[in-house]
């Protein structure tokens, strides 16, 4: 029987996902750490082809654990592995990890202060028409409210790689919020990375856009278009949501007339909430617009259609910025 695909346009997920650069970055970074002698172990819950850990698993099967569809078991077991001296990276959809496993993360990982790395992939609404069960628009708010865990949302594969490599000797547990592996490039090479330190891409005295993860690239495009039209718009990549780079926020709040936060997340409790807390506590009188998903469940559509609909693409962010600029 001929099992070859019927046409070049046909595809199957294992092959397709092996071509996604950010997901390769995850495996590549872990492979690099193992080969440096770090006690890395990677685990997943039946999603190795979705998160790209299949590449790691092929090269280092002795350091890979398949947990099957048992996410809570995976998180607690990762804590057990860390308690014995391993550095576990466990990955599943961002819709499952912080919601389904919230209590395991709080008890076994964060409260116990174990250096577990949780990778929530396909975050936000990037799973499009898979629907609400597969969307994660609450994960930042949930993870941010758990003590002693660092929350990071890299903007592309190179920054993800930088963050993973930087995590090797980082003492705290970390939640990495990543996308579906097809992120446009923000960083041409693997950048320097320090947890808790934002990257200022542009400064502007009219408006500063603070973006994180998937919204950094479109925010940059939007700002460049506005600046080309004579406006003065800055962009900060707030990769680390917790601990937040307060200085970067305060500098922007003092030097810009308005702040626009953009996140692929509910506007409640995530990046926008974190930025507002800092600005309000300092008593800085600057207008803040929180842009994202406005406390609702996403519609069904392909991801790019959703980004257009929710104004999370470059044109959408530009239009929101213009509303703020007035």
Partner 1 sequence: MTDLTDFRQSADRAFELTDDELARLRRKAQFIRLETIRLIEIAKVGHYTSVFSAAELFAALYYDVMDLRFAEPKWPDRDRFMMGKGHAAVGLFPVLVEWGFFEREILDNYTRLGNPLGDHPDMRKVPGVDFSSGSIGHALSGGLGMALAGRMLGKSFTTYVMLGDGEMQEGQVWEAALSAAHHKTQNLVAIIDRNGYQLDGNVDDVIGIEPLADKWIAFGWETHVVDGHDLVAVTSLLRRLKADSTRTKPVCVIANTIKGKGVSYMETEPGWHLGYLDPEDAQRAIDEIKSKVI
Q: Max Cα separation, the chain?
A: 72
Q: Would you tell me the crossing angle of helices 314-325 and 216-228 to the nearest 10 degrees?
A: 60
Four-point Cα dihedral 277, 111, 27, 170, nearest 10: 80
Check binding of 41 to partner 1 (CB under 8 A): yes
Check binding of 251 to partner 1 (CB under 8 A): no
Q: Nearest distance from residue 31's CB to partner 1, in Å?
A: 16
Paired tokens of 43: 């685990």
Single residue of 26, 78, 220, 241 touching partner 1 by CB under 8 A: 78
Check binding of 68 to partner 1 (CB under 8 A): yes
Taking the C-alpha atoms of residue 43 and residue 116, their distance in angstroms, rounded to an integer, is 11
Single residue of 20, 54, 76, 215 touching partner 1 by CB under 8 A: 76
Taking the C-alpha atoms of residue 281 and residue 16, their distance in angstroms, rounded to an integer, is 47
Q: Would you tell me the crossing angle of helices 271-282 and 246-255 to the nearest 10 degrees?
A: 70
Q: Nearest distance from residue 243's CB to partner 1, in Å?
A: 19
Alpha helices in the chain (DSSP H): 13-17, 21-35, 53-59, 71-83, 97-100, 102-104, 139-144, 157-166, 216-228, 246-255, 271-282, 303-309, 314-325
Check binding of 91 to partner 1 (CB under 8 A): no
Mark residue 298 as left, alpha or beta (left: phi above 0; alpha: psi -120 to 50; beta: remaining): beta
**Nearer Cβ to partner 1, position 34 or 178?**
34
**Nearer Cβ to partner 1, position 85 or 230?**
85
Check binding of 99 to partner 1 (CB under 8 A): no
Single residue of 17, 34, 57, 88 touching partner 1 by CB under 8 A: 88
Taking the C-alpha atoms of residue 114 and residue 94, their distance in angstroms, rounded to an integer, is 20
Distances (CA, A) of 325 to 134, 260, 318: 34, 10, 10
Through-space distance between the first and last CA atoms of the chain, rounded to whole angstroms: 65
Q: Nearest distance from residue 43's CB to partner 1, in Å?
A: 9
CA angle 243–245–246, rounded 5-degree value: 105
Check binding of 86 to partner 1 (CB under 8 A): yes
**Nearer Cβ to partner 1, position 113 or 268?**
113
Check binding of 28 to partner 1 (CB under 8 A): no
Single residue of 25, 47, 108, 212 touching partner 1 by CB under 8 A: 108
Q: Nearest distance from residue 68's CB to partner 1, in Å?
A: 7
Check binding of 223 to partner 1 (CB under 8 A): no
Q: Nearest distance from residue 164's CB to partner 1, in Å?
A: 19
Single residue of 18, 32, 38, 39 touching partner 1 by CB under 8 A: 39
Q: Nearest distance from residue 133's CB to partner 1, in Å?
A: 18
Check binding of 63 to partner 1 (CB under 8 A): yes
Rg (CA), the chain: 19
Check binding of 37 to partner 1 (CB under 8 A): no
Single residue of 103, 247, 281, 296 touching partner 1 by CB under 8 A: 103
What is the contact surface with partner 1 in residues (CB under 8 A)?
Answer: 39, 41, 62-63, 65, 67-68, 70, 72-86, 88, 103-104, 107-108, 111-113
């Amino acid at each position: 029987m001929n099992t070859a695909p019927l046409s070049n346009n046909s595809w199957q997920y294992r092959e397709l996902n092996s071509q996604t650069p950010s997901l390769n970055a995850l495996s590549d970074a872990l492979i690099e750490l193992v080969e440096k002698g770090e006690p890395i172990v990677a685990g997943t819950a039946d999603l190795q082809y979705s998160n790209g850990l299949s590449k790691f698993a092929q090269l280092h099967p002795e350091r890979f654990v398949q947990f099957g569809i048992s996410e809570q078991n995976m998180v607690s077991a990762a804590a057990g592995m860390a308690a014995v001296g391993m550095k576990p990276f466990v990955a599943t959809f961002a819709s499952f990890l912080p919601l389904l496993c919230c209590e395991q993360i709080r008890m076994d990982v964060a409260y116990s202060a174990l250096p577990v790395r949780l990778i929530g992939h396909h975050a936000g609404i990037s799973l499009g028409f898979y629907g609400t069960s597969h969307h994660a628009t609450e994960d930042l708010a949930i993870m941010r409210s758990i003590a002693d865990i660092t929350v990071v949302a890299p903007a592309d594969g190179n920054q993800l790689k930088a963050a993973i490599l930087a995590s090797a000797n980082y003492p705290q547990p970390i939640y990495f919020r990543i996308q579906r592996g097809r992120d446009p490039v923000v960083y041409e090479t693997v950048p320097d990375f320090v947890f808790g330190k934002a990257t200022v891409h542009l400064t502007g005295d009219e408006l500063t856009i603070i973006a994180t993860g998937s919204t950094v690239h479109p925010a940059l495009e939007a700002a460049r278009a506005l600046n080309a039209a004579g406006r003065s718009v800055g962009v900060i990549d707030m990769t680390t949501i917790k601990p937040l780079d307060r200085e970067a926020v305060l500098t922007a709040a003092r030097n810009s007339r308005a702040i626009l936060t953009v996140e692929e997340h509910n506007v409640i409790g995530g990046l926008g909430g974190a930025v507002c807390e800092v600005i309000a506590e300092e008593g800085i009188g600057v207008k803040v617009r929180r842009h994202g998903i406005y406390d609702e469940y996403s519609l069904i559509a392909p991801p790019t259609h959703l980004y257009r609909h929710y104004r999370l693409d470059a044109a959408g962010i530009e239009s929101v910025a213009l509303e703020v600029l007035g």
